[in-house]
Amino acid sequence: QVQLVESGGGLVQAGGSLRLSCAASGRTFSSGAMGWFRQAPGKDREFVAGISPSGRSTDYANSVKGRFTISRDNAKNTVYLQMNSLKPEDTAVYYCAARPVRSASVKSTDYQHWGQGTQVTVSS
């Protein structure tokens, strides 16, 4: 069983930066892909970024490419999302997710474990 706890959300002005962290429990963390998703009010949950178990392979939604960076530290059982040049449209609850296979996925239904989410609010 994998438990995920996100942190690092908050209120930031447009153009600012935040770094989200997702701490995982469970010995299978380093063998599975991880993903970040977000959900704004009234909208569906959407893929933001994904990373392979080794960290060598990453994937991003077009809307965040060049601004967000996903990374992981398997020694600390933690995955990160560095968010730069934030925009008001990035406002959402951000969730990390885990799946026990080597490839990340853009589909939320492919992930078996989810954190509780952390709110990110970007003011204009």
Q: What is the pLDDT of residue 88?
A: 97
Radius of gyration of the chain (CA): 13
Contact 15, 47 (CB under 8 A): no
Which helix (H) or strand (E) segment holds residue 27: the answer is none
The CA-atom distances, in angstroms, between 112 and each of 10, 40, 74, 103, 105 are 26, 21, 19, 13, 12
Q: What is the pLDDT of residue 26?
A: 76
Render pLDDT for 47-82 as a digit per residue (tens, 0 to 9): 999 999 999 999 999 999 999 999 999 999 999 999
Low-confidence ranges of the chain (pLDDT < 70): none
Q: What is the pLDDT of residue 79?
A: 97
Q: How long is the chain?
A: 124
Q: What is the pLDDT of residue 77?
A: 94
